[in-house]
Structure 1
Amino acid sequence: MLAHMGYGTRSEIRRIVKQGAVKIGDVSVKDSGLQVDPELDMILVDGERVVYREFIYLMLNKPQGVVSATEDSRDRTVLDLLADEYGHFEPFPVGRLDKDTEGLLLLTNDGKLAHNLLSPRKHVPKTYFAEVEGAVGAADIAAFEEGVVLDDGYRTMPAKLVVLKEGDPMARTVAKIELTIMEGKFHQVKRMFQAVGKKVVYLKRISMGPLLLDEHLAEGQYRELTEDELELLKNHSG
């Protein structure tokens, strides 16, 4: 349990147990292999109570230039943005955002929740804000409602396109939109606009299921989910 909570390697923990630094209640532990119940036993290390938890759930506002991976030989990953205290939980990103895409990314070590959120059968909606070259209007809304055919022949599920600003190619102003999709194909938002002859120049994910990106999180910042947010997420994906 102490190794899982980041108090050291097994050999380091054996050493601090021998030094008498670990107690259950008022009793010093002599055996580092002692079985404990984290829910019932009050465990202290150097007088500080150990608060056990199995899973962590972090909301990250992913910046551009960082890849959605646990490791990468060339680029910084989203895990490089986290404090060391989370490393021993071995979190991973739930799904992917392109290197140049910003916004909401969930990081966790809860494999069951991640699977449910990503399962095509669950149809968890994801909403993006985008800036698009070209005039976006009613024809695009209708096309996306029908589902568009991507460059590999795949027809997307119906998607909801909201035009915030139409854009004017003559005036060189971009369109601003919000798009909600029910799946997560590779580069899907960019490829959907490509299918209707337009180009995404900026992309940011703003929600995943009931989870909304915290507007107070600057790019690269993160925080743990609140109990209410986690409950909503589990109910939505269960």
Structure 2
Amino acid sequence: MQRLDKFLADFGIGTRKQIKEHIKNGAVTVNGQPVKKADMHIDENADKVTFMGQELVFEKFRYYMLNKPDGVISATKDGRTTTVLNLLSDENIKDLSPVGRLDIDTEGLLLITNDGQLIHRLLSPAHHVDKEYEVHLRSELSDSDIEKLEQGVDIGDVKKDGSPDITMPAVLRRGEADDQGRPVVYLTIHEGRFHQVKRMMEAVGNEVLYLRRIRMGDVKLDESLALGEYRRLTDEEVAALSK
């Protein structure tokens, strides 16, 4: 049970003052009956609430897949730069957070949800969740470079005892060159360190020219999504992330 005005506020209907006005004007019904008090309590799981004729369906958790474009930051709010939540303009974004971060110039798969337990599980190093990236490089990787990356490399991080904090073993496969003739590889890692992919390539004397994430766990980027577009995760995708 929760107060009606809080329920409406969670859907972005307006401020408490604005909600009172909407209720006064008869714009809100509960189970088909116009309501007069903003502080009435409702059962969000059983009562049917409408605003201006549109039903507001309560969802405890919400899950989205975004094809993040370049120039957008993986944050909930920022006073100067467009955030990933700004791109979900038609959704109730209250309490939503990106699952991890992609650099401002990195594109591709970003999951967004208000399921805190799922976020923790996907980001915890203990769970070794795959994160696969399409990496466009300045120059070809040698077989020796690939072997080093797959075994783990020193990217400058240190442990508490002062020793190098080597990256976890990775998986790498070669792809076809891009339209500009640049070599492409597909790199799967299990961590989320700061600028990790770029620093891993720097550790073997290379440079990342373009980067996008294409998979997290068993969920792949929907290639039908244009940059900046998003969709709800399917029940099957949510189950795959939760298993």
Give the TM-score, by structure 2 length: 0.86
Q: How does 1:32-111 map to 2 (within 5 A)?
A: 32-87=38-93, 89-111=94-116
- Name the structure 1 match of 2:4: none
Instruction: Please report how far the alpha carbon of residue 34 of structure 1 lies from its aligned counterpart in structure 2 after TM superposition.
Output: 1.6
TM-aligned CA distance change 1:35 to 1:144, over 3 Å: same
2:18 alignment partner AA: E
Instruction: Please report how far the alpha carbon of residue 129 of structure 1 lies from its aligned counterpart in structure 2 after TM superposition.
Output: 0.4
Q: Deviations over 1:168-204 (max 9, x none)?
A: xxxx953210000010111111111111111111111
Within 2, Cα distance between the matches of 1:123 and 1:68?
21
Q: Deviations over 1:144-165 (max 9, x none)?
A: 2211111233200000010124
Indicate the percent of aligned positions where both proteins have the same amino acid. Answer: 48
- Name the structure 1 match of 2:160: none
- Name the structure 1 match of 2:33: 27
1:5 to 11, 16, 19: 11
- Name the structure 1 match of 2:190: 182
Instruction: Please report how far the alpha carbon of residue 223 of structure 1 lies from its aligned counterpart in structure 2 after TM superposition.
Output: 1.2
Q: Which runs of 5+ in 1 are unaligned?
A: none
Instruction: Please report how far the alpha carbon of residue 217 of structure 1 lies from its aligned counterpart in structure 2 after TM superposition.
Output: 0.7
In the alignment, is residue 221 of structure 1 matched against residue 232 of structure 2?
no
2:166 alignment partner AA: R
SS of residue in 1 equivalent to 2:91? helix
- Name the structure 2 match of 1:203: 211
- Residues 96-105 or 7-16, more deviating: 7-16
Q: Deviations over 1:117-157 (max 9, x none)?
A: 11111111100001112221322232122111112332000
TM-aligned CA distance change 1:31 to 1:148, over 3 Å: same
In the alignment, is residue 155 of structure 1 matched against residue 166 of structure 2?
yes
Within 1, Cα distance between the matches of 2:87 and 2:211?
20
Q: Indicate conservation of the 8 Å contact 1:135/1:166, yes or no.
A: no
- Residues 133-142 or 175-184, more deviating: 133-142
Q: Which runs of 5+ in 2 are unaligned?
A: 1-6, 158-163
SS of residue in 2 equivalent to 1:116? helix
Give the TM-score, by structure 1 length: 0.88
- Name the structure 1 match of 2:149: 144
Within 2, Cα distance between the matches of 1:146 and 1:27?
65
Instruction: Please report how far the alpha carbon of residue 210 of structure 1 lies from its aligned counterpart in structure 2 after TM superposition.
Output: 1.1
Q: How does 1:106-121 map to 2 (within 5 A)?
A: 106-121=111-126
Aligned residues: 230
- Name the structure 2 match of 1:230: 238
Within 1, Cα distance between the matches of 2:155 and 2:8?
49
Q: Indicate conservation of the 8 Å contact 1:61/1:104, yes or no.
A: yes
SS of residue in 2 equivalent to 1:121? helix
Q: Indicate conservation of the 8 Å contact 1:129/1:176, yes or no.
A: yes
Q: Deviations over 1:60-94 (max 9, x none)?
A: 1111122212233443222222215334x242221
Instruction: Please report how far the alpha carbon of residue 27 of structure 1 lies from its aligned counterpart in structure 2 after TM superposition.
Output: 3.1
Within 2, Cα distance between the matches of 1:30 and 1:5?
19
SS of residue in 2 equivalent to 1:8? coil
TM-aligned CA distance change 1:81 to 1:49, over 3 Å: closer
